[in-house]
Structure 1
Amino acid sequence: MRKILIVGAGQSGLQLALGLQDKGYEVSLMSNRTADEIRSGRVMSTQCMFDTALQHERDLGINFWESQAPRIEGLGVSVAAPGSHEGPDGSQRAIDWVGRLDGYAQSVDQRVKMAGWMETFAQRGGQLVIHGAAVSDLDFFASRYDLTLVSAGKGELVSMFGRNAERSPYDAPQRALAVSYVHGMGPRPEHPDFEAVRCNLVPGVGELFVMPTLTTSGRADILFWEGIPGGPLDVFQSVKDPEEHLATTLELMKTFLPWEYARCTKVELTDAGGTLAGRYAPTVRNPIGRLPSGGLVLGVADVVVANDPITGQGSNSAAKCAASYLSSIVERGEEPFDEDWMRSAFDRYWNTAQHVTKWTNAMLAPPPEHVLNIIGAAGQIQPIADRFANGFDDPSDFENFFFDPDKANAYLASLTG
């Protein structure tokens, strides 16, 4: 039986550990926190997983919360009119539409999911090691395993994987991030009969994403600001108190997005750990880390491809990476997991991930005219709205109509005559 060590107990690490366990591998999983510590800790992300990523969980039979989590059937875009927040009628929207998803999306608070998956892994006989691993630890452990994978996306271990400058156009954070999990938010009046992720764009300022989720205390909503650094939304670094964090979030909504603020007259934080703030530079790294003794480790998901969350792809990419690596490992049989294999396993995942990175980096920049035309036309032509929404599930489709002005114009012409 082949022995595999996975360091990091997030979406990718746990999904891969459970998948390998199901295939008969002897898996050890290292986490810096226990399941109870994760469950009672601070929120970790703004995960919204679309149909393809959810299917990877279904395939492994670990979609434990599917019947409880809200079914997200749409994805909507609103664009604040220039200067609307400065005038007497702050509710003015230049664009407002919602696209329907072919397969529903869902969000499960990672505190719920990771704690549950970790307990399942242990119950199924997996070796769970609670320890914050350093490079020196991996140097000691790696020789005892056939393969070591690093899926812990922060801290010292990431430094083993060098930045790929060619695939990383940004060397600094492009957004300041601020998250609040709340109870008591009202429905979006344009579609009270179905749930949707709402993307609200304030040109030159930033974005607010609103998404329904399942958290430790039941159904909730996530309010997620992405502010352009140095702008009016970049004010959360000095906020330490959760209630002040929520109050700041709501005040910014009242100023820039009053139509969303109107839904928040009765909101309160889900819990004391229901806020998060930070920033990081989107980075693609080399997939193979070399230990001091010469041993090799393979990076997983956002260890090696970390995109800004503006396109909501983090947990989706993690699920897709875990599924891709699972296939590569199983297909390897008894052959060694050498450097060539590691590179080919990553390249297989990159075939999917490259589309996410290209699209995410494009969305961080001011939109060119042909993209504005697409977003504007989606408000008039429902198939455009639906196609844009479903691109969140399969970002490779954006290659066909989004990046290139000629393709965009041809696509619009085909629908408008």
Structure 2
Amino acid sequence: MRKILVVGAGQSGLQLALGLQSHGYDVTVMSNRTADEIRSGRVMSTQCMFHTALQHERDLQLNFWEARAPKIEGLGVSVAAPGSFDPGPAQRAIGWVGRLDGYAQSVDQRLKMAGWMETFAQRGGQLVIHGAAVGDLDYFSRVYDLVLVAAGKGELVSMFARDPERSPYREPQRALAAAYVHDLGPHPEHPEFDAARCNLVPGVGELIVSPSLTAHGRADMLFWEGVPGGPLDVFAGVRDPGEHLSLTLALMERYTPWEYERARKAELTDAGGVLAGRYAPTVRNPVGRLPGGGLVLGVGDVVVANDPLTGQGSNSASKCAASYLASILEHGEKEFDEVWMRRTFERYWETARYVTKWTNAMLAPPREHVLELMEAAGRFAPVARRFANGFDDPADFEGYFYEPEKTKAYLASVAGG
């Protein structure tokens, strides 16, 4: 029986570990926190998983919360009129919602990762609660047939060099601030169904509002992405959760008043329901070389860490786990050498490159033809629907999003039809 070590207990690492376990592999997972510590801790992310990623979980029978989590049936976009927010409140120039072909869902990762860790152990997997250093992996690389690093922060990431050809940014492009809340009212434009809402404030940043399931029941995530140094970049020194929420709501009142109206009575789900930080979007070399000569393979956001602006983090993690699982199963009893590791990553990159290209494009100021596309989506339901479903399959943006000529031709075909 092949022995595999997975370092890290997030979406990608645990999904891959549970998938390997279901196929009879001897799997060990290392985590620096227990399930109880994760469950009772601070939120780790925002997440909205679309159909393809959810199906990967269904395929492994890991969709434990699907019946309880809100079904997100649409994706809405609003754009503030440039300059209308100075001094504010902003005026909305564009607003629409596109229906998703398959619903999306969000489960608080504190709930999901704790549950998956316990499931892994209950199914006979070895769960080691210990932080791993490079020196530890030097030993483990001689004991295990394959070591997978799925811990996207800390010392271990330094083993994976930045890929400059695939990483256009060296600095964080957004200051991030999230709050999980109860008592958010329904959206007046679609009260009969849930939708994730993306609010663009040109030159300032973005607000993403999306429903989720937490240990405390139904919640909504209020997630600001601020241009560094701008008016939204004010959360770094905030330590009090209540102050974090008050600041979130005050910024909504000025920059997205159409969202603020339903958030007036919002309250935090719990004291750990806030998060702030920033990081530079980075694609890394997938193979880490240890001091003793052993090799490890990076997984998930260890190797591809996009800005969360487009809501792709947990989706990409799930797709990476599914791709790596297929590569490992197909490899059989052969050695997991460097050639295989690089080929395995490139197989995943065939999907991930579309996510990276789209996310990096959305981080830049919107070009004129993109704003024309956004405006047209408010008049033509097929445009809104296609854009919304691009969150599940970002490869589709190649056909009409990046080049003005393709955008013009697509909109002409829609209008003509």
Normalising by structure 2, we get a TM-score of 0.99
Equivalence for 1:220: 219
Hey, what's the Cα distance between the residues in 2 that align with 1:367 and 1:224? 20
2:13 counterpart residue number: 13
Shift of 1:367: 1.3
- Alpha-carbon distance between aligned partners in 2 of 1:201 and 1:33, rounded to the nearest angstrom: 36
Distance 1:356 1:257 in 2: 26
In 1, Cα distance between equivalents of 2:205 and 2:195: 20
**2:335 paired with 1:347:** no
Instruction: Find out whether 1:161 has 2:160 as its counterpart.
Output: yes
- SS of equivalent residue, structure 1 residue 263: coil
The residue aligned with 2:109 is 110
- In 1, distance between residues paired with 2:414 and 2:55? 31
Matched residue, 1:304:
303
| Whole-angstrom distance in 2 between the partners of 1:257 and 1:319 | 31
* Structure 1 position 16, deviation (Å): 0.3
Could you tell me which residue of structure 1 aligns to residue 264 of structure 2? 265
The alpha carbon displacement at 1:142 in A equals: 1.4
For 1:193 and 1:269, how far apart are their aligned partners in 2? 24
Aligned to 2:358, the other structure's residue is in SS state: helix
What is the CA distance between 1:33 and its match in structure 2? 0.2
Q: TM-score, normalised by structure 1?
A: 0.99
Q: Measure the CA separation in 1 of the matches of 2:3 and 2:87.
A: 64
1:46-195 map, 5 Å? 46-86=46-86, 90=89, 92-195=91-194
Q: 2:329 is matched with which residue?
A: 330
Q: Structure 2 CA distance, aligned partners of 1:141 and 1:265? A: 52
Deviation at 1:7, TM superposition (A): 0.1
SS of the equivalent of 1:165 reads coil
Cα shift at 1:266: 1.1
CA–CA distance in structure 1, aligned partners of residues 250 and 91 of structure 2: 17
Deviations 1:281-305 (A, max 9, x none): 0000000000000000000010000
Question: What SS does structure 1 have at the residue aligned with 2:69?
Answer: coil
What is the identity, as a one-letter code, of the residue corresponding to 2:162? R
Whole-angstrom CA distance in 2 between matches of 1:307 and 1:256: 25
Counterpart position of 2:276:
277
Contact between 2:90 and 2:254, CA under 8 Å: does it hold in 1?
no
- List gaps (5 residues or longer) in structure 2: none
Tell me, which stretches of 5 or more residues in structure 1 are unaligned? none
Aligned to 2:412: 413
For residues 219 and 239 of structure 1, the distance between their equivalents in structure 2, rounded to whole angstroms, comes to 26
1:371 Cα offset (Å): 1.0
Distance 2:96 2:90 in 1: 15
Within 2, Cα distance between the matches of 1:125 and 1:103? Answer: 34
Give the 3-state SS of the residue equivalent to 1:371 in structure 2: helix
1:2 corresponds to: 2
Distance in 1, Cα, partners of 2:172 & 2:301: 15
Q: Does 1:36 align with 2:36?
A: yes
Query: Corresponding residue for 2:361?
Result: 362
CA deviations 1:158-204 (Å, max 9, x no partner) are 00000000000000000000000000100110000000000011111
In 2, Cα distance between the equivalents of 1:100 and 1:233? Answer: 30
Distance 1:332 1:298 in 2: 15
Are the aligned partners of 2:65 and 2:107 in contact in 1 as well (CA < 8 Å)? yes
Name the counterpart of 1:25: 25
- In the TM superposition, residue 84 of structure 1 has moved relative to its aligned partner by 2.4
C-alpha distance in 2, partners of 1:257/1:362? 22
Deviations 1:86-120 (A, max 9, x none): 467x3621000000000000000000000000000
Q: Equivalent residue for 1:392?
A: 391
Read off the aligned partner of 1:59 and give its amino acid letter. D
Equivalent position SS for 1:84: coil
Compute the displacement of 1:370 (Å): 1.3
Q: Contact 2:202 / 2:366 at 8 angstroms: preserved in 1?
A: no
SS at match of 1:259: helix
Distance 1:366 1:184 in 2: 33
**Inter-partner Cα distance in structure 1 for 2:358 and 2:90:** 29
Residue 373 of structure 1, CA deviation? 1.1
**1:343-402 deviation per Cα after TM superposition (whole angstroms, max 9, x unaligned):** 110000000000000000000001111111111100100000000000000000001111
Cα separation, 1, equivalents of 2:300 and 2:360: 17
Q: CA deviation at 1:308?
A: 0.1
Return the alpha-carbon distance in structure 2 between the equivalents of residues 243 and 142 of structure 1.
45
Q: How many angstroms apart in 1 are the aligned matches of 2:360 and 2:86?
A: 29
For the residues of structure 1 that align with 2:264 and 2:397, how far apart are their CA atoms? 37
In 2, the alpha carbon distance for the partners of 1:251 and 1:310 equals 21
Distance in 1, Cα, partners of 2:100 & 2:90 = 26
Q: Which amino acid aligns with 2:236?
A: Q
Q: CA deviation at 1:82?
A: 2.1
Secondary structure (helix, strand or coil) at the match of 1:166 reads coil
